[in-house]
Chain A
Amino acid sequence: MTVSDTHLLTVENLSVTIPSSAGAVRAVDRVSLALERGRTLALVGESGSGKSMFCRAVMGLLPRSAVVPGAARVTFDGRDLGGLPRRELAAIRGREIGVVLQDPLSSLNPVIPVGRQIAEPMRYHLGLSSARARERAVELLAAVGIPQPEERLGAYPHQLSGGMRQRVAIAMALACEPKLLIADEPTTALDVTVQAEILNLLGRLQRERNMAMVLVTHDLGVVAGRAHETAVMYAGRIVEKAPTVELFTRMRMHYTRALFDAIPRIDDPPHRELGAIGGQPPGPAAQRVGCPFAPRCWRAEERCRTEEPPLARDAGENHSYACWFPLSQEERP
């Protein structure tokens, strides 16, 4: 794969294994992807598919026990993150890569007023004076749609609503104008009505600031219309990756189809059973043979259980998938 200058983030062959009492857990498995400036990549998958671990690996914030095999290469803005000393990596985090975590209540420090939490990164990354950082914090709170931002500076996280807290967390992530924003399930802990507001806010800020964004979610419905490209993860692997429109119209993976069916629809009759996927994702510690989805796949055949399908794309198309028996035209939604 050639890396062009337009790519802000390229990840090649990234694996993360975490030793545990039940054997080594392979949380992320040979993931490669690239993201251009100003564009959005969605990572979709169910719980435990390795999405969050992937994000933490990109930021260099893995748990201490995690092991990243040597073949991995993460390049951000022309720099190899794996080869950077800790200090330089810390200077990139928060300055050039911003992060919004899932639960805004636990991702804000409960005993520090939000204004100080937003101002802090600007003070040590940008060297702003406390007065200037305060001004900027007010601007940021206004930019993320918090009314009366000046009065909110002194508020503690528990005095704000969930949506407000996530707006504060976004303001914190944006404080130093990062080139890349990693949003790790930013709306999972929020009300449905607030979800849309937060996602629209993220999209607007992204366009205004020409940021690239990695949007992690377990909800395929969130992705539509918001991400340029979508990668579906399963058991630590990327199993399908395509431009979002292409993915929705011409999905090839049975797993993607199952995720698609799990989205509730407004025109469904009331009390219709949701299209849940039977079974469990494989325990990440299991010694895997064959396609990891095979035990839950309704189309699985002998070959799926013995031989792992590679992530490959059809000639002339920008659509990769890892399946021996991809969905045919008629099987697509």
Chain B
Amino acid sequence: MVKKRGITFWLSVAWIALVMTCAVGAGFLPLPAPDQIDWACLATSPDGVHLLGTDNVGRDIAARLFFGARVSLTVGVIAPCIGLVFGSLLGVAAGFYRGWPERVIVGAIDVFLAVPRLVFLLVAMFVFGSGLPAITLALGLLCVPSFARMARANTIRFAGREFVLAARATGADDVAIVLREILPNALMPMVAYALLVMGYVIVAEGGLGFLGLSVPAPAPSWGGMIAEGREVLERAPHVSMIPAAAMFLTVLSVNLIGDGLRGWMDDRESQL
């Protein structure tokens, strides 16, 4: 019954595992500190001393890449979770109770979606400051509306099903019905969607970093590294390309894993 998931799925899983290991183990690996400057090597290519070379001010790219992975992964994991939790709450409330709660929530979502995302992020950075928690929170809030819409649609879809009526007929109250009948059914597609959002958020954080709005320098982030490499792009393209490749592969992997899981769930659904 378990379908073969193919080599790409497992390669993606392997890559994400590698990135996570590097992010977690960044402090224990025999690497120079990410902000330690080696004046002898400015923008050098990968060699025996600096595994992935150095950037334009002589900092070790491998070290910065590994520490930068912490930023990308933290944002990539926590922001979709914020969206999932708050979006589900709002969406389920709207889809289950209908009536005026739904009108208020859907209206608020529509208003929020009409605000340009970059403008929202800029304002949020201005208000919350530009630390990692602030970025995570801002990107998390940005994810709430799409999760809320999805949760609402799924809730409406399942609330009309007969097993919900059957549960009511056994005397279950609203809370029990939402927790036991609707959420287990509605949550599965939303978790797969969360992986898709994870890729989006990692890219968005990279964009903020590129604009200098992510974690403040000299702390490394992938987007910031790409931006720093711009100045030496002709002489030493690896300074930008290595973090860009890392981000590309990470986002691709996350999306492929999401696809794999969705396919697996569709299989399950078709058996019902």
Please list the residues of chain A having a beta carbon within 8 angstroms of any beta carbon in chain B. 59, 61, 87, 90-95, 97-99, 101-103, 105-112, 120-121, 124-125, 157-158, 169, 172-173, 175
Contact = CB atoms under 8 A, between A and B. Distances in A.
Top 5 closest pairs, chain A to chain B, by CB? A94-B170, A94-B171, A99-B169, A106-B162, A93-B171
Contacts of B166: 99, 101, 107-108, 169, 172
A90 B180 CA distance: 16
B163 interface: yes
A109 B185 contact: yes
B188 interface: yes
A43 B167 CA distance: 23
Interface in B162-188: 162-163, 165-173, 176, 180-181, 184-185, 188
A102 B169 CA distance: 13
A97 B170 CA distance: 8
B119 interface: no
A97 B163 CA distance: 17
Q: Which of B170, B184, B272 has the most CB of A within 10 A?
A: B170
Contact of A158 (B167, B185, B272): B272
B169 A59 contact: yes
Contacts, number: 75
A111 B170 contact: no
Nearest to A157: B272
Interface residues of B, number: 20
A250 B181 CA distance: 47
A284 B166 CA distance: 26
A123 to B, nearest CB: 10
A95 B181 CA distance: 19
Contacts of A173: 169-170
A61 B169 contact: yes
A227 B173 CA distance: 33
A121 B171 contact: yes
A112 B158 CA distance: 14
A158 B165 contact: no
A157 to B, nearest CB: 8
A105 B165 CA distance: 13
B162 A93 contact: no
A121 B168 contact: no
16 contacts: A61-B165, A61-B168, A87-B173, A90-B173, A93-B168, A94-B171, A98-B170, A99-B170, A103-B162, A107-B163, A107-B166, A109-B180, A120-B170, A121-B170, A157-B272, A158-B272
B171 A95 contact: yes
Contacts of B165: 61, 101, 107
A124 B179 CA distance: 14
Nearest to B187: A111
